[in-house]
Amino acid sequence: MEKFTLSSRSKDRWIFFFGMLAAFIGLMIPYVRIEDEGVFNVFTGGIFFNEPGIAYISTFIWIVFLALLGSIIAFFLSKNIVLDYVCWLIAASFGIAELITISVDFELIPFAWMFIGSYVTCIGMIAALVGLIRQLLHLKK
């Protein structure tokens, strides 16, 4: 059985990890701005959007949060990149769904509701995608 060390992780996996960590931190700082309501992070936004008729937005927020958290935990528990891809795809797809539903339900221009945390999250997700693509290109047969 191979001994686990953090140095045994590839550089591509570290790029993925730091990208997902940045996206996770982006959710902790304010990332949603609704006029006349204020600015929300993942916890306050999850509570604000948990109203009848728009509760699915809260669900999308929490699924993105859990997928990012799961990817960070999976980095330390698994060496399999399939779990990295699954976590990234879940976070990205529900993040896009969140973008669309907030824009439509609150009749906002897309990206008009985004605050600094949204940009940090997007940059982190893009960096994680770069790590995933690099992992795929460097797979050993």
Strands (E), the chain: 32-34, 38-40
d(CA 44, CA 32): 10
d(CA 24, CA 27): 5
Q: What is the pLDDT of residue 34?
A: 85
Q: What is the pLDDT of residue 113?
A: 85
pTM, to two decimals: 0.88
d(CA 42, CA 54): 16
Write the CA distances from 35 to 39, 42, 50, 55, 58, integer angstroms. 8, 17, 17, 19, 18
Q: What is the pLDDT of residue 140?
A: 66
Q: What is the pLDDT of residue 108?
A: 78
**pLDDT tens across 128-140, in order?**
999 999 999 987 6
Q: What is the pLDDT of residue 25?
A: 97
Q: What is the pLDDT of residue 103?
A: 86
Residue spans of the chain under pLDDT 70:
1-8, 140-141
